[in-house]
Structure 1
Amino acid sequence: MTLTGRSISKGVGTGELLYTDTPISFLGGVDAKTGVIIDQKHPLHGKTVAGKVLAFPYGKGSTVGSYVMYGLAKNNVAPAAIINTECETIIAIGAIISGIPMVDRLNGDAAQLSGVVTVNGDTGEVSAAQ
């Protein structure tokens, strides 16, 4: 299955899909040292974003979230790629400065994807291994 969307951050990333329909705040929601989601109210609490293709609707919270994403990359625990329903500035900046491939506005629902997913931030294509 291949979906197409809008390219936000260039590059190609492949990893196991980690999907949620709940927005994520990186500031206070994700540990920059470990990549673990620490927001106790989030459905993905306790899961790691490290090496995953992280799909969530949009980001929320402080602009410092961009720097948390940068910290994830510096600590080698960043997502392999990000898929958003609708990207907003905090997540876009975080992905760009961290070198995390990112797309949004897919022509289908990311919830349809499963398993290992590849995000091509150069072309906007997202594909799942069949």
Structure 2
Amino acid sequence: MSTATDKPQVITLRGRRVVGGKARAEALVTTQTISGWGGISEKDGSVIELHHELHGQSFAGKVLVFPGAKGSSGWSAYFHMCRLNGTAPAAMLFTRMTTKIALGAVVTRVPTLTDFDADIFELIDTGDTVEVDADAGLVTITKAPG
């Protein structure tokens, strides 16, 4: 027997398009910035920065939710290599716009949004299903059970 409590919680928010497109995937969330050069492996899309909270986890095929980029201008080159290797995120949602992350988003060629109307770190958890429609500036979050 189905009840109203069986329905998953769905949240919608708006953001500003950086790179257009649509994607739907599981979220991988961090409140820490990510370093490209020396911080990620372009071979498998994993975070290799030793003291990062996502160390050892891969963002390949996931909606990467993070504050933004840190480090050198090599950031965009490493994310570009992830795209070429098929290990890029499905989409990126970030909160701190810099030239580094803007270029990285463009060369990664995945739907990307910023400047949200709500706190993405309060609304999205790792494991949630996130649908990104960057063309419309919409993010739809389906909360993971439990």
TM-score, scaled to structure 2? 0.85
Deviation at residue 21 of structure 1 after TM alignment: 0.8
After TM superposition, give the deviation of residue 58 of structure 1 in Å: 1.6
Is structure 2 residue 130 aligned with structure 1 residue 117? yes
Say which SS state the counterpart of residue 3 (structure 1) adopts.
strand
The equivalent residue for 1:61 is: 71
Larger radius of gyration: 2
Q: Deviations over 1:62-121 (max 9, x none)?
A: 111101111000100100000111221112111112211100111111121241101122
CA distance in 2, matches of 1:129, 1:55: 15
Structure 1 counterpart of 2:34: 24
Describe the SS at the equivalent of 1:108: coil
**Secondary structure class of the residue paired with 1:79:** coil
1:9-61 Cα shifts (integer Å, max 9, x gaps): 11112111111111111111110111010001100000001011001112111
CA–CA separation in structure 2 for the residues paired with 1:14 and 1:82? 11
Give the residue type in structure 1 aligned to 2:23: G
Bigger CA drift: 96-105 or 72-81?
A: 96-105
* 1:72 aligned counterpart, secondary structure: helix
**2:60 corresponds to:** 50
Cα distance between partner residues in 1 of 2:25 and 2:113: 15
Aligned to 2:113: 103
Unaligned runs of 5+ residues in structure 2 are 1-10
* Matched letter for residue 43 of structure 2: K
* AA in 1 matched with 2:77: Y
Question: In the alignment, is residue 126 of structure 1 matched against residue 135 of structure 2?
Answer: no
How many residues align structurally?
A: 130
Where does structure 1 differ by over 6 angstroms across 4 or more consecutive aligned residues?
A: none
Given the alignment, which residue of 72, 77, 82 partners 2:92?
Answer: 82
Gaps of 5+ in 1: none
Q: 1:89 & 1:120 partners in 2: Cα distance?
A: 22
Choose between structure 1 and 2: higher strand proportion. Answer: 2
Instruction: Give the aligned CA root-mean-square deviation in angstroms.
Output: 1.1
CA distance in 1, matches of 2:69, 2:108: 16
